[in-house]
């Protein structure tokens, strides 16, 4: 039985050890969902990322919800979490985040896509390397996934 207190004990740390925190397992996901929807952005972003590391049923929904939140810090957390999702969820949430209005979110999402194996999203990143309006996002995309000739 994982309690909210158990979850907070891991996530309140200044520097969260996500590998260790993931040992809480899927029983932590309801608590993480609650924290991810909360008003404390720092705690919510940690909860989103930890949910992705734990994985399993419900984790993708937490990441997906964060990808639609108004605070870009939460969407950055979702973009970072992307790399830990299963392929279907990865592509669905990734589509959204690669189109995010915030260039920081797009940069982090590109990093996640580059770390995964998804032909569909890889093509999107290659396009970003040429077409993204932000220089540093194009540079990140080009560095991680150079455009094909």
Partner 1 sequence: MNGDFTGDGRAEIPITSPWGLGVLELTGGTLTSPVMAANGTRFGGWLLNTADNRFEVQADLDGDGRQEILVSSPWGIGVLKRDGATFTSILMAPNGTRFGGWLLNTADNRFGPVGDFDGDGRAEVLITSPWGIGILKLTGGTFSVLMMAPNGTRFGGWLLNTADNRFGPVGDFGGGGRDELLVTSPWGLGVVELSGGTLTAPVMAPNGTRFGGWLLNTADNHFANVGDFDGDGRPEVMVTSPWGIGILARAGSTLAPKMMAPNGTRFGGWLLNTADNRFGPVADFDGDGRPEILVASPWGVGMLELSGGTLTAPVMAPNGTRFGGWLLNTEDNRFDMVGDLDRDGKAEIVVTSPWGIGVLKQTGATCTALTLAANGTRLGGWLLHTGANHVGIGTEVIRVHVKVLTDPTVPIDRMLTAMQQVYEAVGIRVHRVSTERLTAPALDDLDIGRCVRGETTAEQNALFGNRVGVAPGDVVVYFVRSTVPPTNGCAAHPPGRPSAVVAQGATQWTLAHEVGHVLGLGHVADSNRLMTGGGTANITNPPPDLIPMEVIEMKDSTLTHAE
Among the candidate windows 30-38, 55-63, 68-76, 85-93, which touches partner 1 by CB under 8 A?
A: 68-76
Which distant-in-sequence residues (6+ apart) come within 8 Å of 21 by Cβ? Answer: 10, 11, 50, 53
Instruction: Spell out, one character per residue from 2 to 41, where the chain touches partner 1: x when CB under 8 A holds, - when not.
Output: -------x-xxxxxx-x---------------------xx
**Residues in 70-129 that interact with partner 1 by CB under 8 A:** 72-73, 76-77, 80, 103-105, 107-108, 111
Q: Six-digit token pair at 65?
A: 């919800």
Q: How many residues sit close enough to partner 1 to count as binding (CB under 8 A)?
A: 30
Q: Smallest distance from the beta carbon of 78 to partner 1, in angstroms? A: 10
- 114 CB burial (10 A radius; 0-12, 13-18, 19+): middle
CA–CA distance, 22 with 38 (Å, rounded to integer): 20
Contact with partner 1 (CB under 8 A): which of 49, 97, 98, 124? Answer: 49
Q: Which residues of 128-142 are buried (b: 16+ CB within 10 A; e: fewer)?
A: bbeebeeeebbebbb
Is residue 87 within 8 Å of 113, Cβ to Cβ?
no
Taking the least distance from each CB to partner 1, the nearer of 119 and 135 is 135
Tokens 């995964």 found at: 116
Positions touching partner 1 (CB under 8 A) are 9, 11-16, 18, 40-42, 45-46, 48-49, 72-73, 76-77, 80, 103-105, 107-108, 111, 134, 136, 139-140
């Amino acid at each position: 039985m994982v309690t909210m207190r158990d979850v907070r004990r891991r996530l309140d740390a200044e520097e969260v050890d996500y590998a260790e925190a993931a040992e809480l397992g899927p029983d932590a996901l309801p608590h993480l969902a609650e924290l991810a929807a909360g008003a404390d952005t720092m705690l919510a972003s940690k909860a989103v990322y930890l949910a992705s590391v734990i994985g399993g049923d419900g984790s993708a929904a937490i990441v997906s919800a964060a990808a639609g939140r108004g605070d870009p810090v939460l969407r950055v957390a979702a973009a970072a979490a992307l790399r830990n999702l299963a392929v279907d969820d990865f592509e669905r949430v990734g589509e959204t985040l690669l189109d995010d209005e915030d260039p920081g979110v797009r940069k982090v999402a590109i990093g996640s896509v580059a770390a995964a194996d998804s032909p569909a999203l890889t093509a999107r990143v290659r396009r970003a390397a040429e077409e993204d309006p932000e220089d540093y996002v194009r540079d990140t995309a080009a560095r991680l996934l150079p455009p094909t000739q």
